[in-house]
Chains A and B, each alone.
Chain A
Amino acid sequence: MSVDTVKHPEPAATATPELIRLENVTKRFGGHTVLDGLDFSVAAGKHVTLIGPSGSGKTTILRLLMTLTTPDEGTITVDGDQLFPAPEKQVREIRKKIGMVFQHFNLFPNMTVLRNITEAPVTVLGLPKDEAEARARELLDLVGLADKAGARPSQLSGGQQQRVAIARALAMRPQVLLLDEVTSALDPELVAGVLDVLRDIARSTKITMLCVTHEMGFARDISDQVLMFDAGRVVESGPPEKIFGEPEQERTRQFLSAVL
Protein backbone atom coordinates (compact mmCIF):
# COMPACT_ATOMS: atom_id res chain seq x y z
CA MET A 1 0.00 0.00 0.00
CA SER A 2 1.45 3.36 -1.01
CA VAL A 3 1.53 6.46 1.10
CA ASP A 4 -1.23 8.07 -0.97
CA THR A 5 -3.80 5.56 0.05
CA VAL A 6 -3.24 5.93 3.76
CA LYS A 7 -6.51 7.12 5.20
CA HIS A 8 -6.72 10.69 6.27
CA PRO A 9 -9.11 11.60 9.04
CA GLU A 10 -12.53 12.64 7.74
CA PRO A 11 -12.77 16.41 7.49
CA ALA A 12 -15.44 18.06 9.60
CA ALA A 13 -18.84 18.04 7.91
CA THR A 14 -18.91 21.82 7.60
CA ALA A 15 -15.66 21.84 5.65
CA THR A 16 -16.94 19.59 2.85
CA PRO A 17 -17.85 21.65 -0.20
CA GLU A 18 -21.50 21.83 -1.03
CA LEU A 19 -22.17 20.39 -4.45
CA ILE A 20 -25.92 20.87 -4.60
CA ARG A 21 -27.94 23.52 -2.88
CA LEU A 22 -31.67 24.13 -2.98
CA GLU A 23 -33.00 27.30 -1.44
CA ASN A 24 -36.66 27.98 -0.84
CA VAL A 25 -37.60 25.81 -3.84
CA THR A 26 -41.30 25.65 -4.60
CA LYS A 27 -42.89 23.64 -7.37
CA ARG A 28 -46.58 23.52 -8.15
CA PHE A 29 -48.50 21.37 -10.60
CA GLY A 30 -51.77 23.13 -11.20
CA GLY A 31 -53.13 23.90 -7.77
CA HIS A 32 -51.08 21.19 -6.10
CA THR A 33 -47.89 22.24 -4.32
CA VAL A 34 -45.37 19.46 -4.79
CA LEU A 35 -42.41 21.17 -3.16
CA ASP A 36 -43.07 23.79 -0.54
CA GLY A 37 -40.20 26.20 0.11
CA LEU A 38 -37.62 23.45 0.27
CA ASP A 39 -34.08 24.04 1.58
CA PHE A 40 -31.36 21.49 1.61
CA SER A 41 -27.86 20.87 0.40
CA VAL A 42 -25.73 17.91 -0.50
CA ALA A 43 -22.00 17.83 0.13
CA ALA A 44 -19.68 16.42 -2.51
CA GLY A 45 -19.20 12.71 -2.28
CA LYS A 46 -22.12 12.11 0.04
CA HIS A 47 -24.89 9.64 -0.52
CA VAL A 48 -28.22 11.15 0.29
CA THR A 49 -31.43 9.16 0.22
CA LEU A 50 -34.88 10.66 -0.04
CA ILE A 51 -37.67 8.63 1.49
CA GLY A 52 -41.31 9.32 2.08
CA PRO A 53 -44.77 8.54 0.70
CA SER A 54 -45.58 8.76 -3.02
CA GLY A 55 -46.35 12.27 -4.17
CA SER A 56 -44.26 13.88 -1.45
CA GLY A 57 -42.01 15.56 -4.03
CA LYS A 58 -38.92 13.34 -3.90
CA THR A 59 -38.80 12.58 -7.60
CA THR A 60 -39.51 16.22 -8.45
CA ILE A 61 -36.24 17.20 -6.76
CA LEU A 62 -34.30 14.87 -9.02
CA ARG A 63 -36.19 16.11 -12.06
CA LEU A 64 -35.40 19.71 -11.13
CA LEU A 65 -31.71 18.94 -10.80
CA MET A 66 -31.74 17.19 -14.18
CA THR A 67 -33.57 20.23 -15.67
CA LEU A 68 -36.46 18.02 -16.75
CA THR A 69 -38.74 20.53 -15.06
CA THR A 70 -38.39 24.06 -13.69
CA PRO A 71 -39.11 25.45 -10.23
CA ASP A 72 -41.79 28.07 -9.65
CA GLU A 73 -39.75 29.76 -6.94
CA GLY A 74 -36.37 29.44 -5.33
CA THR A 75 -32.82 28.85 -6.48
CA ILE A 76 -30.89 25.72 -7.23
CA THR A 77 -27.12 25.75 -7.51
CA VAL A 78 -24.84 22.95 -8.63
CA ASP A 79 -21.15 23.30 -7.84
CA GLY A 80 -21.67 27.01 -7.29
CA ASP A 81 -23.48 27.66 -10.58
CA GLN A 82 -27.09 28.69 -10.57
CA LEU A 83 -29.40 26.49 -12.64
CA PHE A 84 -32.63 28.49 -13.02
CA PRO A 85 -32.47 30.78 -14.78
CA ALA A 86 -29.23 30.19 -16.63
CA PRO A 87 -28.07 30.55 -20.23
CA GLU A 88 -28.34 27.36 -22.27
CA LYS A 89 -24.56 26.98 -22.38
CA GLN A 90 -24.28 27.04 -18.60
CA VAL A 91 -27.17 24.60 -18.24
CA ARG A 92 -25.34 22.21 -20.57
CA GLU A 93 -22.18 22.53 -18.50
CA ILE A 94 -24.09 21.81 -15.32
CA ARG A 95 -25.88 18.85 -16.88
CA LYS A 96 -22.52 17.32 -17.73
CA LYS A 97 -21.90 17.01 -14.01
CA ILE A 98 -25.13 15.14 -13.40
CA GLY A 99 -26.20 11.68 -14.45
CA MET A 100 -29.63 10.18 -13.96
CA VAL A 101 -31.04 6.68 -13.83
CA PHE A 102 -34.78 6.45 -14.37
CA GLN A 103 -37.45 4.25 -12.92
CA HIS A 104 -38.28 2.88 -16.37
CA PHE A 105 -34.64 2.68 -17.60
CA ASN A 106 -35.36 4.70 -20.76
CA LEU A 107 -32.70 2.95 -22.80
CA PHE A 108 -32.75 3.77 -26.50
CA PRO A 109 -34.39 0.70 -28.07
CA ASN A 110 -33.01 1.48 -31.52
CA MET A 111 -29.41 1.13 -30.37
CA THR A 112 -27.32 -1.74 -29.10
CA VAL A 113 -26.34 -1.81 -25.45
CA LEU A 114 -22.86 -0.64 -26.38
CA ARG A 115 -24.12 2.32 -28.40
CA ASN A 116 -26.53 3.30 -25.65
CA ILE A 117 -23.45 3.79 -23.51
CA THR A 118 -21.14 5.36 -26.11
CA GLU A 119 -23.63 7.67 -27.80
CA ALA A 120 -23.36 10.58 -25.36
CA PRO A 121 -19.62 10.31 -24.60
CA VAL A 122 -18.94 10.46 -28.35
CA THR A 123 -21.41 13.17 -29.34
CA VAL A 124 -21.37 15.28 -26.18
CA LEU A 125 -17.89 14.85 -24.74
CA GLY A 126 -16.24 14.33 -28.12
CA LEU A 127 -14.50 11.14 -27.05
CA PRO A 128 -12.96 9.07 -29.87
CA LYS A 129 -15.18 6.11 -30.67
CA ASP A 130 -12.71 3.40 -29.69
CA GLU A 131 -11.96 5.10 -26.39
CA ALA A 132 -15.68 5.44 -25.64
CA GLU A 133 -16.19 1.78 -26.47
CA ALA A 134 -13.32 0.67 -24.29
CA ARG A 135 -14.77 2.64 -21.41
CA ALA A 136 -18.25 1.29 -22.10
CA ARG A 137 -16.95 -2.26 -21.95
CA GLU A 138 -15.30 -1.56 -18.62
CA LEU A 139 -18.57 -0.21 -17.30
CA LEU A 140 -20.49 -3.19 -18.66
CA ASP A 141 -18.03 -5.37 -16.83
CA LEU A 142 -18.63 -3.35 -13.67
CA VAL A 143 -22.40 -3.91 -13.88
CA GLY A 144 -21.89 -7.57 -14.74
CA LEU A 145 -23.05 -7.45 -18.35
CA ALA A 146 -19.79 -7.72 -20.27
CA ASP A 147 -21.34 -10.26 -22.64
CA LYS A 148 -24.34 -8.08 -23.59
CA ALA A 149 -22.55 -5.31 -25.51
CA GLY A 150 -24.12 -6.31 -28.82
CA ALA A 151 -27.61 -7.00 -27.49
CA ARG A 152 -30.64 -4.80 -27.95
CA PRO A 153 -32.36 -3.47 -24.83
CA SER A 154 -35.48 -5.47 -25.76
CA GLN A 155 -33.46 -8.68 -25.41
CA LEU A 156 -32.57 -7.91 -21.79
CA SER A 157 -34.49 -8.37 -18.57
CA GLY A 158 -35.61 -5.30 -16.66
CA GLY A 159 -32.80 -5.72 -14.18
CA GLN A 160 -30.23 -6.00 -16.95
CA GLN A 161 -31.67 -2.95 -18.70
CA GLN A 162 -31.41 -0.97 -15.50
CA ARG A 163 -27.80 -2.00 -15.04
CA VAL A 164 -27.07 -0.84 -18.59
CA ALA A 165 -28.79 2.45 -17.74
CA ILE A 166 -26.49 2.82 -14.75
CA ALA A 167 -23.47 2.16 -16.97
CA ARG A 168 -24.81 4.69 -19.48
CA ALA A 169 -25.10 7.37 -16.82
CA LEU A 170 -21.62 6.62 -15.43
CA ALA A 171 -20.07 6.76 -18.89
CA MET A 172 -20.47 10.53 -18.78
CA ARG A 173 -18.30 10.61 -15.63
CA PRO A 174 -20.79 12.71 -13.70
CA GLN A 175 -20.06 14.09 -10.25
CA VAL A 176 -23.61 13.41 -9.15
CA LEU A 177 -25.73 10.36 -9.83
CA LEU A 178 -29.48 10.79 -9.49
CA LEU A 179 -31.32 7.54 -8.89
CA ASP A 180 -35.06 7.79 -9.34
CA GLU A 181 -36.77 4.73 -7.85
CA VAL A 182 -34.51 2.59 -9.96
CA THR A 183 -35.88 -0.72 -8.72
CA SER A 184 -39.58 0.14 -8.54
CA ALA A 185 -40.35 -1.20 -12.01
CA LEU A 186 -38.45 -4.44 -11.56
CA ASP A 187 -39.63 -7.92 -10.76
CA PRO A 188 -38.75 -8.66 -7.14
CA GLU A 189 -36.08 -11.23 -7.95
CA LEU A 190 -34.22 -8.72 -10.15
CA VAL A 191 -34.01 -5.98 -7.53
CA ALA A 192 -31.04 -7.38 -5.62
CA GLY A 193 -28.76 -7.46 -8.68
CA VAL A 194 -29.33 -3.79 -9.39
CA LEU A 195 -28.91 -2.76 -5.76
CA ASP A 196 -25.69 -4.76 -5.48
CA VAL A 197 -24.25 -2.86 -8.42
CA LEU A 198 -25.20 0.44 -6.81
CA ARG A 199 -23.75 -0.58 -3.45
CA ASP A 200 -20.55 -1.40 -5.28
CA ILE A 201 -20.47 2.00 -6.96
CA ALA A 202 -21.27 3.78 -3.71
CA ARG A 203 -18.44 1.98 -1.98
CA SER A 204 -15.78 2.14 -4.69
CA THR A 205 -16.23 5.63 -6.17
CA LYS A 206 -16.37 9.17 -4.88
CA ILE A 207 -19.53 9.94 -6.78
CA THR A 208 -22.23 11.93 -5.04
CA MET A 209 -25.53 10.10 -4.96
CA LEU A 210 -29.00 11.42 -4.61
CA CYS A 211 -31.35 8.54 -4.37
CA VAL A 212 -35.12 8.24 -4.23
CA THR A 213 -36.03 4.76 -3.11
CA HIS A 214 -38.53 2.58 -1.34
CA GLU A 215 -35.84 0.01 -0.55
CA MET A 216 -35.20 0.85 3.09
CA GLY A 217 -32.48 -1.76 3.55
CA PHE A 218 -30.57 -0.30 0.64
CA ALA A 219 -31.09 3.24 1.98
CA ARG A 220 -29.73 2.18 5.35
CA ASP A 221 -26.67 0.58 3.71
CA ILE A 222 -25.47 3.30 1.39
CA SER A 223 -26.70 6.56 2.91
CA ASP A 224 -24.69 9.17 4.71
CA GLN A 225 -27.87 11.09 5.20
CA VAL A 226 -31.56 10.25 4.91
CA LEU A 227 -34.24 12.87 4.28
CA MET A 228 -37.80 12.03 5.21
CA PHE A 229 -40.29 13.85 2.98
CA ASP A 230 -43.94 14.55 3.39
CA ALA A 231 -46.16 16.94 1.44
CA GLY A 232 -43.27 18.76 -0.23
CA ARG A 233 -41.28 19.37 2.94
CA VAL A 234 -38.45 17.67 4.75
CA VAL A 235 -39.98 16.27 7.92
CA GLU A 236 -36.77 15.00 9.37
CA SER A 237 -33.21 14.33 8.30
CA GLY A 238 -30.17 12.66 9.73
CA PRO A 239 -27.85 9.69 9.42
CA PRO A 240 -29.59 6.41 8.63
CA GLU A 241 -29.03 5.02 12.15
CA LYS A 242 -31.06 7.87 13.53
CA ILE A 243 -33.85 7.93 10.95
CA PHE A 244 -34.33 4.18 10.93
CA GLY A 245 -33.29 3.61 14.56
CA GLU A 246 -34.79 6.38 16.61
CA PRO A 247 -36.77 8.80 14.46
CA GLU A 248 -37.91 11.92 16.26
CA GLN A 249 -40.97 12.72 14.24
CA GLU A 250 -44.24 10.87 14.50
CA ARG A 251 -44.72 11.13 10.72
CA THR A 252 -41.42 9.33 10.12
CA ARG A 253 -42.34 6.56 12.56
CA GLN A 254 -45.71 6.15 10.85
CA PHE A 255 -44.15 5.94 7.43
CA LEU A 256 -41.43 3.51 8.45
CA SER A 257 -43.79 1.20 10.27
CA ALA A 258 -45.97 1.11 7.15
CA VAL A 259 -43.13 0.23 4.74
CA LEU A 260 -40.82 -1.91 6.85
Chain B
Amino acid sequence: MTWDWGAVRAFLPHFWDGLLVTLEALALGSVISFVLGLVWTLLMRAPTRWVRWPVGAVTEFVRNTPLLVQLFFLFYVLPERGLTFSALTTGVFAIGLHYSTYTMQVYRAGIEAVPAGQWEAALALNLPRRRTWTAVILPQAIRRVVPALGNYVISMLKDTPMLMAITVLEMLGRARLFSQQHFQFTEPLTVIGVAFILVSYLASLLLRALERRLVR
Protein backbone atom coordinates (compact mmCIF):
# COMPACT_ATOMS: atom_id res chain seq x y z
CA MET B 1 0.00 0.00 0.00
CA THR B 2 1.45 3.34 -0.97
CA TRP B 3 0.39 6.80 0.08
CA ASP B 4 -0.59 8.98 -2.86
CA TRP B 5 -0.52 12.71 -2.17
CA GLY B 6 -2.06 13.22 -5.59
CA ALA B 7 -5.18 11.39 -4.42
CA VAL B 8 -5.31 13.61 -1.37
CA ARG B 9 -5.13 16.70 -3.54
CA ALA B 10 -7.82 15.36 -5.85
CA PHE B 11 -10.07 14.54 -2.90
CA LEU B 12 -9.69 17.87 -1.11
CA PRO B 13 -12.34 19.88 -3.03
CA HIS B 14 -14.87 17.13 -2.26
CA PHE B 15 -13.64 17.00 1.29
CA TRP B 16 -14.32 20.68 1.91
CA ASP B 17 -17.90 20.22 0.66
CA GLY B 18 -18.34 17.28 2.99
CA LEU B 19 -16.76 19.05 5.95
CA LEU B 20 -19.15 21.96 5.50
CA VAL B 21 -22.14 19.63 5.56
CA THR B 22 -20.81 17.79 8.62
CA LEU B 23 -20.28 21.06 10.50
CA GLU B 24 -23.69 22.31 9.48
CA ALA B 25 -25.36 19.13 10.67
CA LEU B 26 -23.38 19.21 13.90
CA ALA B 27 -24.08 22.86 14.68
CA LEU B 28 -27.78 22.78 13.86
CA GLY B 29 -28.25 19.35 15.41
CA SER B 30 -26.63 20.62 18.61
CA VAL B 31 -28.82 23.70 18.76
CA ILE B 32 -31.97 21.66 18.18
CA SER B 33 -30.99 19.08 20.77
CA PHE B 34 -30.13 21.76 23.35
CA VAL B 35 -33.38 23.67 22.87
CA LEU B 36 -35.69 20.70 22.45
CA GLY B 37 -34.09 18.87 25.38
CA LEU B 38 -34.79 21.83 27.64
CA VAL B 39 -38.38 21.96 26.39
CA TRP B 40 -38.82 18.25 27.21
CA THR B 41 -37.32 18.73 30.66
CA LEU B 42 -39.64 21.59 31.51
CA LEU B 43 -42.68 19.76 30.11
CA MET B 44 -41.78 16.76 32.26
CA ARG B 45 -42.19 19.04 35.27
CA ALA B 46 -45.67 20.13 34.22
CA PRO B 47 -48.22 19.83 37.00
CA THR B 48 -50.52 17.60 34.97
CA ARG B 49 -49.71 14.06 33.93
CA TRP B 50 -51.61 14.68 30.68
CA VAL B 51 -48.49 16.56 29.63
CA ARG B 52 -45.86 14.50 31.43
CA TRP B 53 -47.13 11.15 30.26
CA PRO B 54 -47.15 11.75 26.48
CA VAL B 55 -43.85 13.62 26.59
CA GLY B 56 -42.31 10.81 28.64
CA ALA B 57 -43.61 8.18 26.25
CA VAL B 58 -42.44 9.94 23.09
CA THR B 59 -38.97 10.78 24.39
CA GLU B 60 -38.52 7.29 25.82
CA PHE B 61 -39.47 5.87 22.42
CA VAL B 62 -37.07 8.13 20.53
CA ARG B 63 -34.22 7.42 22.95
CA ASN B 64 -34.65 3.68 22.70
CA THR B 65 -34.88 3.32 18.94
CA PRO B 66 -31.83 3.60 16.70
CA LEU B 67 -31.05 6.92 15.08
CA LEU B 68 -30.60 5.12 11.77
CA VAL B 69 -34.15 3.79 11.88
CA GLN B 70 -35.44 7.27 12.72
CA LEU B 71 -33.50 8.73 9.79
CA PHE B 72 -35.03 6.23 7.38
CA PHE B 73 -38.46 6.74 8.87
CA LEU B 74 -38.40 10.52 8.58
CA PHE B 75 -36.80 10.42 5.14
CA TYR B 76 -39.05 7.83 3.51
CA VAL B 77 -42.30 7.93 5.48
CA LEU B 78 -42.90 11.66 5.97
CA PRO B 79 -42.97 12.44 2.21
CA GLU B 80 -45.76 9.88 1.89
CA ARG B 81 -47.75 12.09 4.24
CA GLY B 82 -47.04 15.10 2.07
CA LEU B 83 -44.20 16.47 4.24
CA THR B 84 -41.13 16.92 2.12
CA PHE B 85 -37.88 18.36 3.36
CA SER B 86 -34.37 18.24 1.96
CA ALA B 87 -32.29 15.28 3.03
CA LEU B 88 -30.04 17.52 5.12
CA THR B 89 -32.97 19.21 6.88
CA THR B 90 -34.47 15.84 7.67
CA GLY B 91 -31.12 14.55 8.92
CA VAL B 92 -30.42 17.59 11.09
CA PHE B 93 -33.86 17.37 12.62
CA ALA B 94 -33.50 13.61 13.27
CA ILE B 95 -30.13 14.07 14.99
CA GLY B 96 -31.41 17.00 17.03
CA LEU B 97 -34.54 15.14 18.05
CA HIS B 98 -32.65 11.96 18.91
CA TYR B 99 -30.09 13.75 21.06
CA SER B 100 -32.69 15.97 22.70
CA THR B 101 -33.89 12.86 24.49
CA TYR B 102 -30.42 12.59 26.02
CA THR B 103 -29.88 16.26 26.75
CA MET B 104 -33.23 16.35 28.56
CA GLN B 105 -31.77 13.98 31.13
CA VAL B 106 -28.70 16.14 31.47
CA TYR B 107 -30.84 19.21 32.07
CA ARG B 108 -32.96 17.35 34.59
CA ALA B 109 -29.89 16.37 36.56
CA GLY B 110 -28.63 19.95 36.36
CA ILE B 111 -31.91 21.35 37.63
CA GLU B 112 -32.08 18.85 40.45
CA ALA B 113 -28.53 19.74 41.45
CA VAL B 114 -29.51 23.36 42.18
CA PRO B 115 -29.72 23.44 45.99
CA ALA B 116 -33.18 23.64 47.57
CA GLY B 117 -32.03 26.84 49.29
CA GLN B 118 -32.09 28.63 45.94
CA TRP B 119 -35.76 27.81 45.45
CA GLU B 120 -36.46 28.83 49.02
CA ALA B 121 -34.66 32.16 48.69
CA ALA B 122 -36.56 32.89 45.48
CA LEU B 123 -39.84 32.06 47.20
CA ALA B 124 -38.96 34.13 50.26
CA LEU B 125 -38.30 37.09 47.95
CA ASN B 126 -41.67 36.45 46.33
CA LEU B 127 -40.15 36.07 42.85
CA PRO B 128 -42.76 34.92 40.34
CA ARG B 129 -42.39 31.30 39.27
CA ARG B 130 -41.32 32.18 35.75
CA ARG B 131 -38.70 34.60 36.99
CA THR B 132 -37.40 32.02 39.45
CA TRP B 133 -36.77 29.70 36.52
CA THR B 134 -35.23 32.19 34.15
CA ALA B 135 -33.17 34.26 36.57
CA VAL B 136 -32.20 31.80 39.29
CA ILE B 137 -32.60 28.11 38.48
CA LEU B 138 -31.81 27.74 34.78
CA PRO B 139 -28.67 29.90 34.74
CA GLN B 140 -27.25 27.75 37.54
CA ALA B 141 -28.47 24.47 36.07
CA ILE B 142 -27.14 25.19 32.58
CA ARG B 143 -23.65 26.15 33.66
CA ARG B 144 -23.46 22.87 35.55
CA VAL B 145 -24.40 20.80 32.51
CA VAL B 146 -22.21 22.38 29.83
CA PRO B 147 -19.54 19.63 30.14
CA ALA B 148 -22.13 16.89 29.85
CA LEU B 149 -23.77 18.59 26.87
CA GLY B 150 -20.32 18.84 25.33
CA ASN B 151 -19.97 15.08 25.44
CA TYR B 152 -23.15 14.74 23.45
CA VAL B 153 -21.85 17.18 20.85
CA ILE B 154 -18.84 14.92 20.30
CA SER B 155 -21.11 11.93 20.20
CA MET B 156 -23.34 13.69 17.67
CA LEU B 157 -20.34 14.44 15.50
CA LYS B 158 -19.52 10.75 15.39
CA ASP B 159 -23.09 9.97 14.36
CA THR B 160 -23.17 12.40 11.44
CA PRO B 161 -21.90 9.74 8.99
CA MET B 162 -25.28 8.06 9.41
CA LEU B 163 -26.70 10.87 7.31
CA MET B 164 -25.06 9.11 4.39
CA ALA B 165 -27.89 6.60 4.62
CA ILE B 166 -30.37 9.25 3.54
CA THR B 167 -28.18 10.56 0.69
CA VAL B 168 -26.62 13.47 2.57
CA LEU B 169 -23.04 13.86 1.39
CA GLU B 170 -21.17 14.71 4.55
CA MET B 171 -17.51 13.78 5.00
CA LEU B 172 -17.88 10.01 4.88
CA GLY B 173 -20.33 10.24 1.98
CA ARG B 174 -17.83 12.33 0.03
CA ALA B 175 -14.99 9.94 0.83
CA ARG B 176 -16.98 6.93 -0.22
CA LEU B 177 -18.09 8.55 -3.47
CA PHE B 178 -14.52 9.53 -4.26
CA SER B 179 -13.20 6.07 -3.40
CA GLN B 180 -15.71 4.33 -5.61
CA GLN B 181 -14.86 6.57 -8.51
CA HIS B 182 -11.07 6.42 -8.16
CA PHE B 183 -10.54 3.09 -6.40
CA GLN B 184 -8.44 4.85 -3.80
CA PHE B 185 -9.67 4.20 -0.28
CA THR B 186 -6.73 4.91 2.00
CA GLU B 187 -6.28 8.63 1.32
CA PRO B 188 -9.86 9.91 1.54
CA LEU B 189 -10.70 7.78 4.59
CA THR B 190 -7.53 8.87 6.35
CA VAL B 191 -8.22 12.51 5.56
CA ILE B 192 -11.71 12.41 7.01
CA GLY B 193 -10.54 10.40 10.00
CA VAL B 194 -8.06 13.13 10.85
CA ALA B 195 -10.76 15.72 10.20
CA PHE B 196 -13.09 14.04 12.69
CA ILE B 197 -10.42 14.18 15.37
CA LEU B 198 -9.69 17.84 14.62
CA VAL B 199 -13.34 18.85 14.62
CA SER B 200 -14.06 17.09 17.89
CA TYR B 201 -10.96 18.65 19.42
CA LEU B 202 -11.97 22.12 18.26
CA ALA B 203 -15.52 21.55 19.48
CA SER B 204 -14.25 20.57 22.91
CA LEU B 205 -12.06 23.69 23.03
CA LEU B 206 -15.06 25.80 22.09
CA LEU B 207 -17.18 24.19 24.78
CA ARG B 208 -14.49 24.63 27.37
CA ALA B 209 -14.29 28.33 26.51
CA LEU B 210 -18.05 28.54 26.86
CA GLU B 211 -17.85 26.77 30.19
CA ARG B 212 -15.23 29.21 31.43
CA ARG B 213 -17.39 32.11 30.37
CA LEU B 214 -20.41 30.71 32.16
CA VAL B 215 -18.70 29.51 35.31
CA ARG B 216 -17.49 32.70 36.81
Residues of A in contact with B (beta carbons under 8 Å apart): 66-68, 92, 95-96, 98-100, 102, 104, 106-111, 119-120, 123-124, 152, 168-169, 172
B128 engages A124 (CB within 8 Å): yes
B121 within 8 Å of A (CB atoms): yes
Residues of B in contact with A (beta carbons under 8 Å apart): 115, 117-118, 120-121, 123-128, 131, 135-136, 139-140, 143, 216
How many CB-defined contacts (below 8 Å) exist between A and B? 57
B121 engages A102 (CB within 8 Å): yes
B216 engages A124 (CB within 8 Å): no
Alpha-carbon distance A98/B124, docked complex (angstroms): 8
Alpha-carbon distance A208/B176, docked complex (angstroms): 77
Selected from A96, A106, A108, A152, the residue in CB contact (under 8 A) with B216 is A152
With A109-B140, A110-B136 already in contact, the answer to whether A119 and B125 are too (CB < 8 A) is yes
- The smallest C-beta distance from B123 to any residue of chain A, in angstroms, reads 6
Alpha-carbon distance A95/B127, docked complex (angstroms): 10
Selected from A95, A110, A123, the residue in CB contact (under 8 A) with B131 is A123
- Which of B121, B124, B127, B136 counts the most A-chain CB atoms under 10 A from its CB? B124
A119 engages B117 (CB within 8 Å): no
**Identity of the chain A residue whose Cβ is nearest the Cβ of B140 in the assembled complex:** A110
Residues of A within 8 A of B131 (CB): 123
- The smallest C-beta distance from B142 to any residue of chain A, in angstroms, reads 10
Residues of B within 8 A of A172 (CB): 125-126
Selected from B123, B136, B139, B216, the residue in CB contact (under 8 A) with A68 is B123
B126 engages A95 (CB within 8 Å): yes
Nearest 7 Cβ contacts at the A-B interface: A120-B125, A106-B121, A106-B117, A100-B124, A110-B139, A95-B126, A124-B126
B117 engages A102 (CB within 8 Å): yes
Alpha-carbon distance A203/B16, docked complex (angstroms): 74
B125 engages A124 (CB within 8 Å): yes
A95 engages B216 (CB within 8 Å): no
- The smallest C-beta distance from B148 to any residue of chain A, in angstroms, reads 18
- The smallest C-beta distance from A75 to any residue of chain B, in angstroms, reads 21
A119 engages B126 (CB within 8 Å): no
**Identity of the chain A residue whose Cβ is nearest the Cβ of B118 in the assembled complex:** A106
With A119-B135, A123-B131, A152-B216 already in contact, the answer to whether A168 and B120 are too (CB < 8 A) is no
**Identity of the chain B residue whose Cβ is nearest the Cβ of A66 in the assembled complex:** B124
Alpha-carbon distance A111/B125, docked complex (angstroms): 15
Alpha-carbon distance A185/B139, docked complex (angstroms): 25
Alpha-carbon distance A67/B120, docked complex (angstroms): 9
26 of the cross-chain contacts (CB-CB < 8 Å) are A66-B120, A66-B123, A66-B124, A67-B123, A68-B120, A95-B123, A99-B124, A100-B124, A102-B117, A102-B120, A102-B121, A102-B124, A106-B115, A106-B120, A107-B121, A108-B121, A108-B140, A109-B140, A110-B139, A120-B125, A123-B128, A124-B126, A124-B127, A152-B216, A169-B124, A172-B126
- The smallest C-beta distance from B69 to any residue of chain A, in angstroms, reads 40
Residues of A within 8 A of B216 (CB): 152
- The smallest C-beta distance from A181 to any residue of chain B, in angstroms, reads 13
Residues of B within 8 A of A109 (CB): 140
B117 engages A104 (CB within 8 Å): yes
Residues of A within 8 A of B117 (CB): 102, 104, 106
Given A68-B120, A120-B126, A168-B125, 18 further pairs, Cβ under 8 A = A66-B120, A66-B124, A67-B123, A68-B124, A92-B126, A95-B124, A95-B126, A100-B124, A102-B117, A106-B117, A106-B121, A107-B121, A110-B139, A111-B135, A119-B125, A120-B125, A152-B216, A172-B126
Selected from B123, B128, B136, the residue in CB contact (under 8 A) with A108 is B136
Residues of B within 8 A of A96 (CB): 126
Alpha-carbon distance A92/B117, docked complex (angstroms): 19
Residues of A within 8 A of B136 (CB): 108, 110
